[in-house]
Amino acid sequence: LTANPAVGKAADRLVELGGTVILAETTEMIGALGPLLKSAESEEVAAKLKAKVERQEARARETLGPLADVVMAPGNVESGLTTIAEKSLGCITKGGSSLIREVVDYGDRPGRKGLVVMDTPGYDIESLAGMAAAGAQAILFTTGRGTPVGFPAVPVIKISSNSELFEAMPDDIDLDAGTILAGKSASQVGQQIMDVLLRVARGEKTRAEINGQAVFAIAQEGPAF
């Protein structure tokens, strides 16, 4: 409702300016394949996206069995989510409203500008490494419970989904999207995200960089959730 749609507004602006935006964590797309396929630029892109998401769903079912449709992180449950589909529909809003122009494998560099989907696990740390390997210059990281996570080679801009978190972790969070609940629009916060992104691109350090937070992990062949 807050951080993810605001990131989507920033993503739309970046695409409009000729940039490349990577939407990662394919496991977070399970249950939201319908809307994603409608956003595919071509049948080829749609087919590749469908194959990637269905592969991740099959791996989840192999590991979790009948629980695959209901297992969610405690923070998701506490925030009011009841199904994987609800969670996924929120997650994909980070990509904004642009057409999906390409689907790439984990760590592969996009060959086209615009919105690109990367096949990564839902595990944040492995996902960060994949985007960094693909050439990402900055990573927008939304959080509802708070995390100090950073990456060694690419600045990670953390955006809280609620103001309580921002007030509790001011030294770890770069921007508060909870202001949307107080009346700001997603577009306004999206512009704030763009402003922070530009400052970071010019050399301003993120909270994670200031704190020396840098974690690294490459995706494993087996399932990671």
Flag whether 219 is in a domain. Answer: no
Q: Quick check: 80 pLDDT over 60?
A: no
Place of tokens 């309580």: 164
**Which residue range(s) make up the domain with 128?**
3-211
- pLDDT tens-digit profile of 49-70? 999 999 988 887 787 676 666 5
Flag whether 166 is in a domain. Answer: yes
- The span from the CA of 64 to the CA of 223, in Å, is 10
Flag whether 108 is in a domain. Answer: yes
Amino acid letter, 110: P
Residue 87 pLDDT grade (very low, low, confident, very high; cuts 50, 70, 90): confident
Alpha carbon 122 to chain centroid, angstroms:
9
Q: Do the Cβ atoms of 200 and 155 come closer than 8 Å?
A: yes
Rounded (5°) CA angle 113-128-169: 115
In the predicted model, what is the mean pLDDT of residues 127-134? 98
At 72 the pLDDT is 53
Residue 3 pLDDT grade (very low, low, confident, very high; cuts 50, 70, 90): very high
The backbone torsions φ and ψ at residue 185, rounded to the nearest 5 degrees and listed phi first, read -90, 160
Flag whether 220 is in a domain. Answer: no
Q: Quick check: 224 pLDDT over 70?
A: no
Flag whether 179 is in a domain. Answer: yes
Flag whether 54 is in a domain. Answer: yes
- Cβ neighbour number for residue 165 with a 10 Å cutoff: 22
- pLDDT tens-digit profile of 36-45? 999 999 999 9
Enter the tokens of residue 178.
Answer: 């909870």
Residue 191 pLDDT grade (very low, low, confident, very high; cuts 50, 70, 90): very high
At 152 the pLDDT is 96
- pLDDT tens-digit profile of 118-128? 999 989 999 99
- The span from the CA of 185 to the CA of 169, in Å, is 23
Kindly state the helix (H) or strand (E) to which residue 55 belongs, with its residue range.
Answer: helix 43-64
At 60 the pLDDT is 78
Q: Quick check: 116 pLDDT over 90?
A: yes
CA separation (Å) from 155 to 63, 109, 117, 213? 33, 18, 20, 10
Q: Quick check: 78 pLDDT over 90?
A: no
Q: Do the Cβ atoms of 4 and 94 come closer than 8 Å?
A: yes
Q: Looking at the 3D structure of the chain, how many domains does it have?
A: 1
In the predicted model, what is the mean pLDDT of residues 23-29? 94
Q: Do the Cβ atoms of 101 and 113 come closer than 8 Å?
A: yes
Flag whether 32 is in a domain. Answer: yes
Sheet arrangement for strand 114-118: 20-23, 114-118, 100-104
Q: Is the dihedral of CA 222, 23, 208, 158 positive or negative?
A: negative
Flag whether 224 is in a domain. Answer: no
At 144 the pLDDT is 93
